[in-house]
Amino acid sequence: MDSGRWGRGRGVSWGMLPLLGLHAVNEYYRLPWKPPVTAGLLAANTLVYLRPSLLDALLPTIDEVWFNPHLILKYKDMKRFFLSPFYHVGESHLVFNMMSLLWKGIQLETSMGSSEFASMVIALVGMSQGITLLLAKSLLLFLDYERPYYAQYAVGFSGVLFALKVVLNSQSENYTNVYGLIVPARYGAWAELILIQMFVPGVSFLGHLGGILAGLLYLKMKRSYSGSDPLTAIIRGVCGVLRWPLRFISDMFRLRRGRISGRGTVGGRQTGNVSGIWRCQACTYDNSGWLRTCEMCGTTRTSNTGSSGQASRGSRDLTLEDLRRRRVERFG
């Protein structure tokens, strides 16, 4: 999260955004499976920043969504609570966060699956925001810290990114490089929190700390609950419902590709058990049960075969030249 005021009339610079797009496309091109939730989060954050004309009237301005504990608690403004992670104060802020999201999201979504990853991101957004709000209110009540934290304005996805970093490195025994400092991977988020606070002005300390604590709380809850969480089950069900029409359309196109004309197909799976279809034994073309001769080669169907009957015995001995001649005679 970044703090500080930002005017409404800002212009969008295009210096770094093409690099972000190129990097994302390159990373996804190399993957055998493209994580859809990570791609959706990248697109959502970028579209909110760019504010295209189709969305401009629908999206609130950044002045309406700054994360401010005082305004959230006083006016019950939940719009600020839920939307502030998806707004960024500038191009470099957006690109830095999205590069980090791309790297973490690909690894986590690939290992966890899209449904569980989406569930985790939703939970971490709510938990990181809630913990940050709780910390700000606690500092006001017990230490009288009003200006530094309770009245602070902040936006950005970095609180969630800190939580994702905690989850990603929770089981790692390796070391990681945090701005030139080599530390155990499981403590990487804490080291990054301290270094960013020391060397990057205007960042939200409570927002980043809330993200780390949210990640730790999520891991603790995950270990104490062995089954699939209800949110994951809901997301999985919704995805299944959305995929059903796509599968239906895909199956329809697949069936149409298997047909070459009229009512039959050539080769492929045996269709003798399909009602109203009989297969010509001379050319393996599947014909409608209403036809008495093969639509492809003209071979006569025997009268006692039923809907899944076979062609006359003599047709099995036809040579390729005979089949060619019959087709020429039939189709001219």
Does 158 participate in catalysis according to the annotation?
Answer: yes
Between residues 270 and 235, the one the model is more confident about: 235
Report the distance separating Cα 53 and Cα 292, nearest Å. 62
User: What type of residue sits at position 92?
Assistant: S
The Cα–Cα gap between 235 and 121 comes to 12
Specify the residue for token string 């080599």. 182
Active-site choice (208, 226, 228, 261): 208
Alpha carbon dihedral 138, 67, 81, 20, in 10-degree steps, equals -130
Average pLDDT over residues 45-59: 93
Query: What does R_g of the chain's alpha carbons equal in angstroms?
Result: 31
DSSP of 22-51, one letter per residue? HHHHHHHHH-SS--HHHHHHHHHHHHHHH-
pTM: 0.69
> Distance (Å, rounded) from C-alpha 31 to C-alpha 214?
29
Integer CA distances (angstroms), 49 to 54, 61, 63, 89, 236, in order: 13, 10, 13, 8, 29
Torsion-angle region of 181 (φ positive above 0: left; ψ -120 to 50: alpha; else: beta): beta
* Structure-block tokens of residue 312: 């006359």
Q: Which pLDDT score, from 0 to 100, does residue 243 have?
A: 66
128, 158, 204, 315: the active-site residue: 158
The predicted-structure confidence for 185-243, as pLDDT tens digits, reads as follows 999 999 999 999 998 888 889 999 999 999 999 999 988 876 666 677 777 777 777 66
Q: Is 204 a catalytic residue?
A: no
What domains appear along the chain, each with residue ranges and CATH number?
A: 16-239 (1.20.1540.10)
Average pLDDT, the chain: 81
